[in-house]
């Protein structure tokens, strides 16, 4: 346990894993989002260009008709001509829905709905003339449409796909309709399928899964670092005993024990001949010239 807690490589390794996993999670989620945003902007610009052309046609169709619809929204001849134009453009440009809207009593109301011929069709919520513009797209784009009608902006679009209940998410765009004096009179709003905007798949790699795993690994490594710090506080590393400092008295003569004197061999006896050799360890004489053995048969 102590070896694991106080391993010098454990904390640096966890810190490196945490940083790398966080970078991987952020990159694998930010890159598809950036590409999706760029793709939506391209699609929106193309759609808004079509709506601007349509706004000119609406103005040319009759400023008086447009003014009459704004004053009294109703299903009359002016409504039918305007709605027929919206339906033709919707079918030709591949839009899912187009509305002609205006501002009245602080609310965005519908003047014409391209789906007026589809009344009663399953999944289609037709908005009658004079009704408030509502729906999933209205929740996302209402502030942009209000900006158009107040003259603050020229166009608007949703920054992300909108779930409208259909199989494919939708993108919303809007362009201003001006009268011949250049004053904003109405706004054209359209929605169309958000196709080819999913960039989470890179070859066989699912970037969404990579991002999820990266953030999960970051959370686990961070939790392990916190747990490691708490365990080190709870189980501190045992400190080695402090070395004993010698006292000055230990270095005096009294502080050392006297060693016993070595035993020396006894001096040679007086009867030993002078100049004899003796063994220094035993004190015995060493006869350098031993006599040869006597032959008993001699």
Domain CATH number, residue 89: 3.30.450.20
Per-residue pLDDT tens over the stretch 191-237: 998 877 776 777 777 878 888 888 898 899 888 888 888 877 777 77
Positive or negative: CA dihedral 45, 207, 209, 216: negative
pLDDT averaged per 10 residues, the chain (length 298): 71 86 86 83 88 81 70 72 84 88 86 74 71 88 88 87 83 88 86 78 77 89 85 75 64 59 59 58 60 56
CA dihedral (263, 269, 274, 276) in degrees, to 10, reads: -60
Cα angle, residue 177 at apex, residues 173 and 182 outer, rounded to 5°: 135
What's residue 297's pLDDT? 58
Positive or negative: CA dihedral 101, 104, 106, 107: negative
Q: Is residue 96 part of a domain?
A: yes
Q: Is residue 227 part of a domain?
A: no
Distance CA 41, CA 143 (A): 18
Q: What string of DSSP letters covers 83-103?
A: HHHHHHHHHHHT-SEEEEEEE
Q: Is residue 271 part of a domain?
A: no
Q: Name the nearest CA neighbour of 8 among 217, 240, 237.
A: 237
What's residue 63's pLDDT? 64
Q: Is residue 286 part of a domain?
A: no
CA distances from 190 to 34, 81, 112, 173, 285 (A): 24, 18, 12, 5, 133
pTM of the model: 0.62
Those residues whose C-beta lies under 8 Å from the C-beta of residue 288, and which sit 6 or more positions away, are 277
Domain boundaries, position 57: 49-193
Q: Is residue 150 part of a domain?
A: yes
Q: Is residue 297 part of a domain?
A: no
How many domains does the structure of the chain reveal? 1
State whether residue 217 is helix, strand or coil. helix
Percent of the chain scoring above 90 in pLDDT = 4
Q: E strands within the chain? A: 97-104, 107-113, 155-157, 170-178, 184-193, 201-202, 205-206, 277-278, 285-286
Residues 189/141, Cβ–Cβ less than 8 Å: yes
Q: Is residue 226 part of a domain?
A: no
């Amino acid at each position: 346990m102590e070896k694991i807690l106080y391993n010098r490589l454990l904390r640096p390794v966890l810190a490196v894993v945490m940083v790398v996993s966080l970078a991987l999670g952020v990159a694998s989620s930010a890159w598809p989002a950036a590409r999706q945003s760029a793709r939506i902007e391209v699609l929106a610009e193309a759609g808004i260009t079509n709506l601007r052309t349509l706004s000119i046609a609406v103005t040319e169709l009759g400023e008086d008709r447009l003014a009459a619809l704004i004053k009294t929204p109703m299903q009359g001849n002016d409504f039918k001509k305007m709605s027929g134009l919206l339906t033709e453009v919707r079918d030709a440009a591949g839009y899912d829905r187009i509305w002609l809207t205006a501002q009245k009593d602080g609310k965005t109301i519908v003047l014409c709905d391209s789906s007026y011929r589809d009344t009663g069709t399953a999944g289609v919520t037709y908005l009658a003339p004079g009704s408030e513009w509502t729906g999933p797209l209205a929740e996302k784009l209402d502030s942009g449409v209000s900006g158009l009608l107040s003259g603050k902006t020229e166009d608007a679009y949703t920054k992300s796909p909108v779930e409208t209940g259909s199989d494919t998410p939708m993108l919303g765009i809007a362009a201003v309709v001006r009268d011949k004096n250049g004053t904003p009179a109405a706004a054209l709003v359209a929605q169309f399928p958000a196709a080819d905007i999913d960039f989470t798949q890179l070859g066989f790699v699912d970037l969404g899964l990579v991002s999820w795993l990266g953030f999960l690994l970051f959370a686990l490594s961070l939790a392990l670092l916190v747990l490691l710090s708490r365990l080190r506080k709870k189980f501190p590393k045992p400190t080695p005993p402090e070395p004993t400092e010698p006292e000055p008295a230990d270095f005096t003569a009294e502080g050392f024990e006297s060693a016993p004197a070595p035993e020396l061999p006894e001096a040679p006896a007086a009867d030993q001949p002078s100049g004899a050799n003796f063994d220094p360890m035993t004190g015995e004489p060493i006869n350098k010239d031993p006599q040869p053995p006597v032959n008993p048969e001699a």
